[in-house]
Structure 1
Amino acid sequence: METFKKLKPYYWPYKKYFFYSIAFLLLVTAITVVYPMILQVTIDEVVLKGKYHWIPYLTIGFILVMSVKGVATYINQYSGDLFGINSVYKMRNALYEKLQYLPFKYYDNAKTGDLMSRLTADVEGFRFFLSFGFSELLRFLILIVISVAVMFYYSVPLTVVTLITLPFLALVVYKFDRAVHPAFRGIRESFGKLNTKVQESISGINTVKSLSKESFEISRFNDSNGDYKENYLFTSKIWAKYFPLMELLGNISVILLLAYGGSLVMNGSLKPGELVAFYSLVWYIIWPIVNLGFVINQFSQAKASGERLIEVLEAESDSGENPALNNYERLKGDVEFKNVWLCYDEDSKDALQDISFKAIPGKVIGLIGSTGSGKTSLTQLMTKFYDPSSGEVLIDGKSVTHYSLGTLRKNVGFVLQESFLFSTTIKENISYGRPEATMEQVIDAAKRAQAHEFILELPNGYETILGERGMGLSGGQKQRIAIARAICIDPSILILDDATSAVDMETEVNIQKALKEVMQGRTTFIIAHRISSLKHADEILVLENGRIVERGKHEELIDNNGPYHRIYDIQFKDQKTVLTSNNR
C-alpha cells in the first residue's frame, strides 16, 4: 500500500465522497443479503406451512427493499465517481505542473510519448480503481462477512464444512496478485514506449516522407506494438492459469454444501428453505473471492500506474524552486563567467572547460564554433537550466544562485535555434512571456523583428490562429515571431541562438539592423555558425571542445590567422579579399 500512501494527498481531501459511498455500500450489501432470507421465509413459512396470506406483505416488503437498494446504489456509485474524478483532477493538475517545473536535465532522457501515457492512461487507470475497484473490494469483504454471519446463524457445522476450501482459495488469490502486478507494470511501460513511437513518427512525418521511410516506421511501430501485445498475452496467461483454479475451489465448496446440507435436511437438522438460502449465501462468498481476481487485476493496474506517477511527482524540480512563485527584480545584465566547468553526467566528457569572460550591458558577445563546441551550453548556465560543475556564473556581481528562477528567466530573452510556436493567435505567441503587453507593444516587437509586414498580410493579422508548432508559416517567419516574443519581454540579457539561420540574407540584414536598436543597453549573446551574423559583435569567443580557443573583434581574429580565420576562409573563399578590405 506504499504507493497509495504516497498519493494520499491527492485523494484524501475528497474523503467525504468516499465515506458517503461506503455508507451506502453497506446498505446495498445488507439489502443484498436479505434476498436469501426472504427466500427462506417464503419456502419454509409460506409454501411448506401454507401461510399464503403472507404473500402480499412479502411482495410489498420486497418492492420497498428493491426501491431502497436502487436509491442506495445510485448514491454509492455517484459518490464513488465523485471521489475518483475529483482525485485524479487534482493529480493530473499536479503532474502537469510538475512537468512544467522539471529541469532541462530531466527532459534530456525523458520520452514525450511516455510522459503523455503517464498523464493520460496511468492517471485513468488509477482513477478507475478509486471510483470502482476500491468500493468493489470493500463490497466483497462486507458481503463475505455478513453472509458468513448469516450462515453461522442458520447452521454452524454446515458453515464450517462449506468454507473449508476458503483458505486454499485465499492462497491462490494471493499468488495471483504476486504474479500479475509485475505483468501489469510491463504493460504500462510497453504502452508508454508505444506512445513514444507514435508521437515521434507523427512529429517527424515530414522527415519520414521526404526519405521514403514509411515502411521502416511501420516496422518499428510493429515491434513496439508486438512488445505491447506480448506483455498483454503474458498477463492473460497468468489470468488463465489462476482463474480456473479459483473457480474449481469454489465449486468444491458448493459440492460439500449440497452433500452435507442435504443430509442435514433429511435428518431434520436443517429446514429446506434454510438450505436454499444457504446455497445463495455461499455464492455471495465464493463469487466475491473468485472475482477478487478481477479486483486484484484493477488494483495491480492502479498500483503500477501509481508507481509511474510517483516517479514524475517525486522527480527533483529546478533547484527546488517554482519560477511562477518567485519575486521579480530588474537586473542590469552585467554577466561574468569565472573558471566555469560543466559536465552533464558522469559518463560524458566536459561540455565546458575553464570558461572565463565578462560582458557588460550594451555589449554584444558573439559565440562561434563547430557543433557541440559548447556555445548553447554556455548560455544555458545564465538561467540555471543547468548548474556548473565548478566555477561561478555572476550577474550584476552576484552568483546566479543568489537569484530566484523567476528573476533570472524574466530578465533573459531566448531566441532558440528551433523556434516553437503555440497553437494560438500570433498576438498571444508574441506576448507569451508578457501577457499584460498592450497591442502597441506587441506590434512594436513585431516591427523590430521584421515580422509586422508579413503578419498584416495574413487573413486575420495578429489574430490569425496558427496551426500546431506554427504550421502554415515558413521557417523564417516562425523565427521572426520568436524574435518578437523575446523582444516583447524587454529582457536585460538577450540570447540569439542561431536565431537568423532560417531567414534569407536580405531578411537577416534587416533583422540585424532592427536588433541594433534593441541591443542598446542590453547584454546580447549571439550564437551563430555564419560569420556574417556576428562580425559586428564587440567581442567574439571561438569555442572548440568546450574551451575558448580565441577571442577578440572580427578584424583582430582575421589578422590572427587562427581558428576564426579558418572558418572565415571556408565561408567566404573567393570573397575573402573583398570582404576583408571592406571591414577594415
Structure 2
Amino acid sequence: MKKKELKDIYFRLLKYLKPYIKYFILALFFMCLVSAIMVAIPWTLKVLIDSALIKKDAFILNILALSMIGLYVIKGILSFCQNYLMIYITNNVISDIREQFFSHMQLMPLEFFKRHSTGELMSRLTNDTFILQQVFSTGLVSLVLDTLTLIGVVCFIFYIDWKLTMATIFILPLAFLAVQKFGRRLKSVSYRIQERSADVFAVLQEILSSIKIVHGFATYEKESERFKKINRESVKAVLKAGRLNSIYTPVMELLGAMGIAAVFWYGGYRVINGHMTIGDLMAFIGYIGIITTPVRRMGSNLGNIQQAMAAAHRIFSVLDIEPSIKDKEDAIEIKEIKGMIEFDNVWFKYPDDEEYILKGLSFKIMPGQVFAIVGPSGAGKTTIIDLIMRFYDPQSGSVKIDGYDVRDLSMRSLRRHLGLVPQDVILFNTTISENISYGKSDATTEDIIWAAKISNAHDFIDKMEKGYDTILGERGVRFSGGERQRISIARAVIKNPKIFLLDEATSNLDASSESQFQEALKRVLKGRTTIIVAHRLSTIIFADKILYLENGKIVEEGTHSELMNKENGKYRMLFELQTKENMFASL
C-alpha cells in the first residue's frame, strides 16, 4: 500500500470512531494518568536512596512504602477503566463495520458473487475484522501508553542529568531505524498473510459445500492435497512474518543493552566525580529499564497495526465497489400491478462474455397469461427470468412491467410483486414455517398451511413429529429434492404475487406429485401472469403460449397444439423424443 492509501485507511477508521468519541477521550485521559504513574515510580527510587536510606529517615521510608502501594492500586483501577472502555469502543466499531459490510454485500448484483468466492467474503467479514478487533482493543492501548511513557521518561532523564541522557540517547536513532525497517517489511508480509488466509477459507468452503460430490467420486486424497497446498502457502506467509518478528526482538534487546551499558559506564563516572547522586543514577537506570520495554514493544505493535491496515484495506476494497444494479434516485415505488410483461428488442450478455445470450428478443405477455419458455441448454431461458427480477440489466432494449421499464422501478417494490421459484432450491437452516413465510413477515399460520397445501407439501410436513416447526438443516439437507422443491414453491405462493416465475420448478417432483402440483398450480395461477421455464415439456402443455428459444432468439411460438401441428418443428420433435424416453423408462 502507498502512503496515501494508508493515510486514507487511517481516516476512514477514525470515522467509525466518531459515535464513540466521548468514550475514547475518556480512555485517553485514563491512559495519560496510567502513564504518569508509571513514570513517577522510578522517581521514588531516587527519593528512597537519597532521602531515606542515606539519611536514615524512617518516616520517609514509611511514606514511600505506602505511596508505592497507593500508586499501584490507583494504576490498577485506571488500567481497568481504560481497558474496558477500549474493549467497548473496539467491539462496537467492529460490529458497525461488519454490519455495513454485510448490508453492502446484500446490495451487490449476482455478478459480484461470481467474481468473489463465498470463502473469500467470509474471510473478510470474520478473519479480517477479528484482526482489527484484536489490534485496536489491545495493540492501540499499548501503543498510546508506550508513546506517552516514552515522552515522560525522556523528560525525566533530561531533568536528572542531561549529559548522561545525551550520551545514552544515541541508541534511539538506531532503534527507530530498526522499527521503521521492520515495520515496512511486516506491512507487505501482513497483506500476503490475509490473502493466503482468504484462499484457505475459499477452498474449505467450496470443499465442504460439495462434500456429496467428494464422497461420490471418492476424491478424498485429491481434495486433501488441494487443501494442503493452499494451507502450506498460508503457513509460509505466517512463518515469514514470524522470522521478521524473531529477528526484531533480539536486535532491539541488543540496542537496549548497549544503552544500559553506556549508562553504567558513564553514569558511574559522574557519580564518582560528584556530578550525580547514587539516587539519581539508580532512578536513571530505572527509567532506562522502563524505556527499553516501550521501544521494543512499539515495533511489535506497529507491525500488528500494519497487519490491521492490510485487513482494513481488504474490507474497504469491497465496501468501495459500487453496485452495478441499483435504484435510481427518483425510482418509482409501484404499489399495484396488473402483470403485463414486455421484452422490447433486448440484447444481453453477461459481464466479461463476448457473445450475447439474448439477441434482439421481443415478446409481450398480457396480464393473467401463462407463458412457457423451452429450448436447449444455454438458449437464454433462465436469463429472461433474471432480467425480469432485475438481477442484471440488458445492454440495449428494455424489460417492462405494466409499461414501466424495470430500471425505473425500485427493486424492492418490483420484487414484492414477483414470486420466484429458482432452479437451484435454496432453503435456510431454520423451521419449515419460517422458510415458507420468508417473503411475508406478517404471514399467519393459516397462510403458511394454505401455501403448503397448494404446493402439495402439507401432507409430508404434517406427518413429521414437529410439523411446521421442524428444522430443515443447512440448505435443507434433511429432506428429499422433491420435498425441498415443494417448500420452495410454497415460499413463492404465500406472497400471492401478480407474477410467478418458475424456473424448472417441477424438476425434482415425481410423476404423482407433479400431476397433483399441476392441478394446484392451475388454480393458484388463475388471473396471474406466469412464466414457466421447463425442460420437461409435459409440464407446460396447459400454457397459453409457448416460446421455443434457441441461441437467444425465438424460433417457434404458439400453443402446445399449434406447435405440435408444425411438421418438423423443433418443439414437436423434442416433445416426441421426450415421450419416447418416458415410455422406455416406464418399461
Distance (whole Å) between structure 1 residues aligned to residue 536 and residue 346 of structure 2? 26
1:328 touches 1:406 (CA, 8 Å); kept in 2? no
Are 1:484 and 2:490 an aligned pair? yes
Gaps of 5+ in 1: 577-584
Distance 2:288 2:486 in 1: 74
Report the counterpart of residue 130 of structure 2 in structure 1: 124
Does the residue aligned with 2:393 lie in a helix, a strand or coil? coil
Rounded to whole Å, the distance in 1 between the matches of 2:305 and 2:212 is 42
The AA in structure 2 aligned to 1:566 is M
AA in 1 matched with 2:361: I
Structure 2 CA distance for partners of 1:94 and 1:215, relative to 1, 3 Å:
same
Aligned to 2:435: 429
Please name the residue that 1:224 is paired with: 230
Distance (Å, rounded) in 1 between the aligned partners of 2:111 and 2:326: 14
Shift of 1:488: 0.4
2:573 corresponds to 1:566: yes
* 1:145 partnered with 2:188: no
Asked if the contact 1:538–1:553 (Cα under 8 Å) also holds between the matched residues in 2, the reply is yes
**1:545 has 2:551 as partner:** yes
Given residue 305 of structure 1, which amino acid in structure 2 is its aligned partner?
A
For this pair of structures, how many residues does the alignment match? 575
Name the counterpart of 1:530: 536
2:456 to 438, 450, 453: 450
Q: Aligned to 2:365, which of 342, 359, 365?
A: 359
Tell me how far apart the structure 1 counterparts of residues 314 and 43 of structure 2 sit (CA, whole Å): 46
Match of residue 204, structure 1, among 179, 201, 210: 210
- Matches of 2:152 and 2:582, distance apart in 1: 94
Deviates more, 1:379-388 or 1:347-356: 347-356
Moved more, 341-350 or 73-82: 341-350
C-alpha distance in structure 1 between counterparts of 2:309 and 2:431, whole Å: 41
Out of 496, 499, 520, the residue aligned to residue 505 of structure 2 is: 499
Give the conservation status (yes or no) of the 8 Å contact 1:326–1:405.
Answer: no
By how many angstroms is 1:556 displaced?
2.5
Moved more, 493-502 or 2-11: 2-11
CA contact (8 A) 1:426 1:466 kept: yes
Residues 1:277 and 2:263 are matched in the alignment: no
Matching of residue 290 in structure 1 with residue 260 in structure 2: no
Q: Residues 23 and 381 (structure 1 numbering): CA distance in 2 closer, same or farther, change over 3 Å? A: same
Q: Deviations over 1:278-304 (max 9, x none)?
A: 112123222212211210122012111
Q: Which residue of 2 aligns with 1:168?
A: 174
Instruction: Name 1:336's counterpart in structure 2.
Output: 342
Report the more deviating stretch, 241-250 or 192-201.
241-250
* CA RMSD across the alignment: 1.9
- Alpha carbons 2:328, 2:408 under 8 Å: kept: no
Measure the CA separation in 2 of the matches of 1:526 and 1:3: 49
**DSSP-derived class of the 1:373 partner:** coil
Q: Deviations over 1:257-315 (max 9, x none)?
A: 22211111111111111111111212322221221121012201211111111122222
C-alpha displacement at 1:327, in angstroms?
4.7
Q: CA 1:429 to 1:454, structure 2 compared with 1: closer, same or farther past 3 Å?
A: same
| TM-score where L is the length of structure 2 | 0.94
Query: Is the 1:83–1:130 Cα contact (8 Å) retained in structure 2?
Result: no
Amino acid at match of 1:123: T
For the 8 Å contact 1:4–1:306, the answer to whether it is kept is no
Distance 2:323 2:392 in 1: 12
Cα 1:72–1:575, aligned 2, differ >3 Å: closer, same or farther? closer
Question: Which of 252, 258, 264 is 1:246 aligned to?
Answer: 252
1:370 Cα shift?
2.0
Counterpart CA distance in 1 for 2:369 and 2:87 is 60
Cα separation, 2, equivalents of 1:54 and 1:444: 87
Number of the residue aligned with 1:69: 75
Map 1:377-392 onto structure 2 (within 5 A). 377-392=383-398
* Offset of residue 11 of structure 1: 2.5
| Native 8 Å contact 1:432 1:485 kept in 2 | yes
The Cα of 1:176 is off from its aligned counterpart by: 1.2
- Supply the AA of the counterpart residue of 1:359: I
Report the CA distance between 1:372 and its aligned residue: 1.9
Q: Distance in 1 between matches of 2:338 and 2:422?
A: 22
1:150 deviation in Å?
Answer: 0.2
Counterpart CA distance in 1 for 2:277 and 2:505 is 90
Separation in 2, partners of 1:522, 1:440: 22
Which deviates the most, 309-318 or 67-76? 309-318
**In structure 2, what is the Cα distance between the partners aligned to 1:319 and 1:198?**
30
1:105 to 88, 106, 111: 111
How far off is 1:531 after superposition?
Answer: 0.8
Match of 1:6 in 2: 12
Secondary structure of 1:496's counterpart equals strand
Contact 1:326–1:406, Cα closer than 8 Å, also in 2: no
- Counterpart selection for 1:15 from 21, 29, 42: 21
246-255 or 397-406, larger mean C-alpha shift: 246-255
Letter in 1 for 2:157: M
Look up the match of 2:162.
156
- Residues 7, 310 of structure 1: 8 Å contact kept: no
Shift of 1:367: 1.2
Tell me, in whole angstroms, the C-alpha distance in 2 between the residues paired with 1:59 and 1:92. Answer: 49
Deviations 1:431-456 (A, max 9, x none): 11001012111111111111111111
Match of 1:79 in 2: 85
Residue from 511, 515, 537 that aligns with 1:509: 515
> Cα gap change, 1:88/1:411 in structure 2, threshold over 3 Å: closer, same or farther?
same
| Equivalent-residue separation in structure 2 for 1:567 and 1:268 (angstroms) | 109
Kept after mapping to 2: 8 A contact 1:368/1:540 = yes
Partners of 1:494 and 1:522 within 8 A in 2: yes
Normalised by the length of structure 1, the TM-score is: 0.95
Please give the secondary structure, in 1, of the residue aligned with 2:565: helix
- Which residue number in structure 2 is paired with residue 393 of structure 1? 399
Question: 1:317 deviation in Å?
Answer: 3.1
**Tell me, what secondary structure is at the counterpart of 2:169?**
helix
Give 1:401 deviation, angstroms: 1.4
Structure 2 vs 1, CA of residues 393 and 90 (structure 1 numbering), >3 Å: closer, same or farther?
A: same
Letter in 1 for 2:219: K
* Cα drift, residue 231 of structure 1: 0.9
Are 1:420 and 2:426 an aligned pair? Answer: yes
Match for 2:35: what amino acid? T
* CA drift at 1:9: 3.4
What's 1:181 paired with? 187
How many angstroms apart in 2 are the aligned matches of 1:53 and 1:437? Answer: 80
Question: C-alpha separation between the residues in 1 aligned to 2:328 and 2:119?
Answer: 25
1:80-133 Cα shifts (integer Å, max 9, x gaps): 111101111222221222222221111112211111111111111111222111
Distance 1:60 1:327 in 2: 73
Asked if structure 1 preserves the Cα contact closer than 8 Å seen for 2:428 and 2:476, the reply is: yes
Give 1:321 deviation, angstroms.
4.3
Secondary structure in 2 matching 1:130: helix
Q: 1:173 to 1:444 in 2, by over 3 A?
A: same
> In 2 relative to 1, CA 171–466 (structure 1 residues): closer, same or farther, beyond 3 Å?
same
2-structure distance, mates of 1:505, 1:309: 49
